Amino acid sequence: MNEHTRDINMARVERDIEKLSEFNATPGDGITRLTYSEEDDRARKYIINEMKNFDLNIEVDGIGNIVGKLEGQDQSLGSVMTGSHLDTVKNGGKYDGVVGVVGGLEVIRTIKENNISTENPLELIIFVEEEGTTFGSTLIGSKVFTGKYNIEDIKRHKDQDGKSMYERAKEFGLNPDKMIETKDRNIKAMIELHIEQSIVLEKNNLNIGIVDDIAGMKWFNVNLRGEANHAGATPMNLRKDVLVVASEIIKEIQNIVNKSKSGSIVGTVGKIDCEPNVPNVIPEKVNFTLDLRDVNKQALEETSKRINNNIKEICHENEIDYSIELMGESSPIQLSNKLKKAARKSAEERDYSFKIMNSGAVHDVGILADITEAGLLFVPSVDGKSHNPEEFTSYVDIERGCNLLLDTILQLST
């Protein structure tokens, strides 16, 4: 092992992950920990308490982003930052986001208790509302942190009860008028540890993924309106059955995506609502989401336009009213070559097998790539499953990821 190599305390990491999984609104059916929920509150307090146990300087901004700082020898130098998120999708898994939070916490604990001196300050950050489950837009915490979202954006994004994130933050005891201003911060680098959420590493029997590019995404909300009528009394040729039209559109979305020359674009209709949603009434309203992702920006834009035009044509042919709303978007991101090189060096010194690869999922670290050197490390996901109760990553793989994160952060900060 090289002079910087240490080992994290894996028993402590396991304890933290298992404890956080108890803060869950759906016991026995995956993990549900939504932003500003009671479960979220308990998880946040647990992590903050762990930060306090190691005397980190703690800061919480107006929407709930948490930063814990370990001072370095030279306070004029930029911080080396790591972290992820604690919120989940509904009925998700216990590793998504949590591995990066706990891994980052453990790296700082290991450095402090071993009296390792770093020139740069170290910061652990926990971003709020990464998943977008509660307020309909992904990566809100990191977008606010980097200035991409402002107060008006927080007021614009609402939950299923029609309350804005701004209102909910106040109810949660926060002051959303007070944000952490990134322009006043000095950040040398941000590196995030995460489960892969795909099958590449496991299928290739690899220990680590070092991410090259993060896919850009476009997230649409599509509303269609036809005419409700009696299911038995209305002739087939006189119907405006909006669910039939929606099914045609969704099928064409898949065809358009599959025909793209990109080779890396993916498209998903993941949520559908139908009204009145009763057996003997012809559907009148359908709402569905569309999630498009690709590392190729041009292909993402071109496919998005083709799909929008196709929706327009199908609705016009069937005399169906429609609207298409862009709910959120991000551009493809190339991560820092410097951090990829540092991670590769650490992996080689640990004798970990690894792959330089892309990420189809978006992550908070990608938002920070505009303001600092940004890097992303993956550990394998069993069967590639994520965002469901079967999500699983072995503690052996998590330990490797945490040790690699430790070594890489020490390269960057000493």
Mean pLDDT across the stretch 42-68? 97
Closest by alpha carbon to 164, among 173, 174, 152, 175?
152
CATH architecture of the domain with residue range 10-215+332-413:
3-Layer(aba) Sandwich (3.40)
Strand pairing category for 79-85 and 187-195: parallel
Mean pLDDT across the stretch 229-241? 96
pLDDT at residue 286, as a whole number: 98
pLDDT band for position 12 (cuts 50, 70, 90): very high
pLDDT at residue 183, as a whole number: 58
Q: Report yes or no: 77 and 120 within 8 Å, Cβ to Cβ.
A: yes
Closest by alpha carbon to 199, among 352, 357, 331?
357
Write out 188-246 in H/E/C secondary structure: EEEEEEEECCCCHHHHCCCCEEEEEEECEEEEEEEEEECCCCECCCCCHHHCCCHHHHH
- Taken in order 349, 351, 357, 363, the sign of the CA dihedral is negative
pLDDT at residue 351, as a whole number: 97
Is a pLDDT exceeding 80 seen at residue 130?
Answer: yes
pLDDT at residue 5, as a whole number: 54
Mean pLDDT across the stretch 223-243? 97
pLDDT band for position 333 (cuts 50, 70, 90): very high
Q: Residue 321 is encoded by which pair of tokens?
A: 């009213």
Is a pLDDT exceeding 70 seen at residue 110?
Answer: yes
Average pLDDT, the chain: 95
Q: 269-285 pLDDT, tens per residue?
A: 999 999 999 999 999 99
pLDDT at residue 2, as a whole number: 46
CATH architecture of the domain with residue range 216-330:
2-Layer Sandwich (3.30)
Closest by alpha carbon to 306, among 266, 261, 257?
257
Q: Report yes or no: 264 and 296 within 8 Å, Cβ to Cβ.
A: yes
pLDDT at residue 328, as a whole number: 81
Q: Report yes or no: 142 and 180 within 8 Å, Cβ to Cβ.
A: no
Is a pLDDT exceeding 60 seen at residue 390?
Answer: yes
pLDDT at residue 1, as a whole number: 38
pLDDT at residue 4, as a whole number: 47
- The residues, any chain, with a CB within 8 Å of residue 17's CB and separated by 6 or more, are 94, 95, 98, 99, 102, 398
Mean pLDDT across the stretch 149-168? 96
Q: What is the DSSP letter of 158?
A: B
Q: 339-352 pLDDT, tens per residue?
A: 999 999 999 999 99
- The residues, any chain, with a CB within 8 Å of residue 298's CB and separated by 6 or more, are none
Q: What ranges in 6-160 are assigned the alpha helix state H? A: 10-21, 38-53, 98-113, 140-145, 151-156
Is a pLDDT exceeding 50 seen at residue 365?
Answer: yes
- Determine the Cα angle at 249 with ends 244 and 252, to 5°: 130
**In this prediction, what percent of the chain has a pLDDT beyond 90?**
92
The Cα–Cα gap between 184 and 24 comes to 36
Residue 127, beta-bridge partner list: 85
Q: Report yes or no: 25 and 33 within 8 Å, Cβ to Cβ.
A: yes
Q: Where are the domains of the chain?
A: 10-215+332-413, 216-330
pLDDT at residue 273, as a whole number: 97
Q: What is the DSSP letter of 181?
A: -
Q: 170-229 pLDDT, tens per residue?
A: 999 999 988 755 556 899 999 999 999 999 999 999 999 999 999 998 999 999 999 999
Q: Residue 247 is encoded by which pair of tokens?
A: 């099914």
Helix (H, G, I), strand (E, B) or coil at 63: coil
Residue 129: left (phi > 0), alpha (psi -120 to 50), or beta?
Answer: left
Closest by alpha carbon to 124, among 32, 195, 177, 53?
53
Structure-token match 């028993």, residue found: 11
pLDDT at residue 329, as a whole number: 84
pLDDT at residue 185, as a whole number: 82
